Structures are given as structure tokens and as C-alpha cells.
Amino acid sequence: MPTLRKIVNLSFSLIFLFSFTLFGQATLSDHQMNEEIFHFLQKFQAGYSSRDVSRINEWVDDLMTEDVYIMGTNAVYPNTGEWQVGRDKAIELFSNDWQRWGILEADIEHADIKILNKNVALIAMTATVTKSVENGFGRSNEKNMERCLQRLADLEKNESKSTRLKLFTAIWDAGMVLKHTELGETFIWPIRISMVLIKEEGKWKMTQTHYSYPMSGYPPIRIVDGEVVDY
């Protein structure tokens, strides 16, 4: 009986040691993958921070798959606006971001990283885009109002809109500009960014991304009789 007890105790000890080793390896593996993905996000942010368009091809090739799927904030249907597929389109879209959109700062420190398996991970994170006269991406309130007046002057020549819709457009455009001029010349927009990463030849690469603004109230675009209508 003592011998049997020793065998049982030894078996439990070996099982415990084996389980602990496996758990430790899994934890280390998850930790390592999180570190790799965080490094990916650092390189992603570095591109937006430097905005060096001469290196956009290298940045896209390093971080994205050949068939990367991009859904930006400005598109209703696939293959229009900022809803595009492939590296060539990625270079075009991100280059435009770096030169015209504003200064994007992603909160990579608090990014929600979900590792589905050793080759697939999901990311969701918040970000801000800042546009101001000081950082070179914004305009003064006076200039914004002048541009609004020019749009209203051009609106009269627009034959695709009815007189009634032109008036609604004028009210909406002027009201939006006046509202934002009251809030100051520095625009800070909250952005939500999600990504799907896959591992290719030992490197994490983005195969899908989606940028979106949080909304309240009526969205500015709707579909009427099958046609996309905005103001």
C-alpha cells in the first residue's frame, strides 16, 4: 500500500508539473504575440507621425498584405472613395491621409488585442485626428467661412439639385460652418480603428482595417429611391 501511495503521489506530481509547464508555455506565447503586435502598432503609428510620403511604399509593404482590405470614413460602396482593396490603393489612401487629413494619434497603449490563434489577431482602438492652423492642416475661421460662401455661390449653378434641396443644402452648410467656428479653430475628431492581422512568413501584417467616426443624430448621408443623397 505505501508503494501504491508513492506511485499515485508521483503521478499527480508529474501531471501537475506537466500542466504547469504547458500553461507557462501558452502564457509566454500569448505574451510574445502581444509584444509582436504592439511592435506592429508602434510602426503603424510611426508612419502617421512622420508622414514621410517618400517612404509610404516601404511602410505599406512592411505592414500590409498584398490584398489588404481598407474601409475608410469616406465611402458608401466598395471600390469607391476610401473603400478599396490592395497595396496600390493603400499607398494612395494613406498618402492622402498623411498629406491632407490631419495628425492622427492612435491610443496604441490601450489597444484591445484579441489573439484568435497563432496566425490571426483582432485589434480595436481609439484615436484622434487633429487639424489646426498651427499644425498646418487647418484653416482660420475666416477662411472656412469664405470657402463656405464660395460653395454656396457654386450651389446655384448645380443643376442636379432642386431649388428646395439647394436651400436645404445652403442652410445645412452655413449652419455647420458657423457652429464649428464657435467651437474654435482647432478641430479634434475622435476616430475608431479596427484591424485584422495575419501572420505571413513570421511577420504580423494587416489584412483588413476599418476607420469610423462615432455618430449621434442623423447621419449626413442617406439613400433615397436607390440614390445616395448628401447635403
200-208 contacts at long range (C-beta below 8 A, 24 or more positions apart): 200/65, 204/36, 204/37, 204/40, 204/121, 205/63, 205/64, 205/65, 205/68, 206/40, 206/44, 206/63, 206/64, 206/65, 206/68, 207/64, 207/65, 207/67, 207/68, 207/69, 208/68, 208/69, 208/70, 208/71
Share of the chain above pLDDT 90, in %: 74
- The pLDDT tens digits of the residues spanning 157-214 come to 998 889 998 999 999 999 999 999 999 999 999 999 999 999 999 999 999 999 999 9
**Alpha-carbon distances, residue 106 vs 52, 109, 127, 197 (angstroms):** 17, 9, 4, 17
- Answer whether residue 47 is part of any domain: yes
Whether the per-residue pLDDT at 27 is higher than 60: the answer is no
The residue among 200 and 229 whose pLDDT is bigger is 200
- For residue 110, the 8-state DSSP code is G
Give residue 3's pLDDT.
55
Q: Closest Cα partner for 130 from 105, 97, 96?
A: 105
pLDDT in tens, 105-142: 999 999 999 999 999 999 999 999 999 999 989 999 99
Residue 58 lies in a domain: yes
Q: State the pLDDT at residue 101.
A: 94
Whether the per-residue pLDDT at 41 is higher than 80: the answer is yes
What mean pLDDT comes out for the span 43-68? Answer: 97
Residue 8 domain-assigned (yes or no): yes
Instruction: Return the CATH number at 199.
Output: 3.10.450.50
Q: Where in the sequence is the domain holding 63, given as residue range(s)?
A: 2-138+185-215
Identify whether 195 is part of a domain: yes
Q: Taking all residues of the chain, what is their mean pLDDT, rounded to a whole number?
A: 88
* pLDDT at residue 29, as a whole number: 81
Q: Is the pLDDT of residue 8 over 50?
A: no
CA distance 113 to 196: 10
Q: Is 203 part of any domain?
A: yes
- pTM, two decimal places: 0.81
Residue 13 lies inside a defined structural domain of this protein: yes
The model's confidence at residue 15, banded by pLDDT at 50, 70 and 90, is: very low
Number of domains in the chain: 1
pLDDT at residue number 207: 98
Going from the C-alpha of 45 to that of each of 40, 98, 121, 155, the distances in angstroms are 9, 11, 18, 39
Residue at 29 is within a domain:
yes
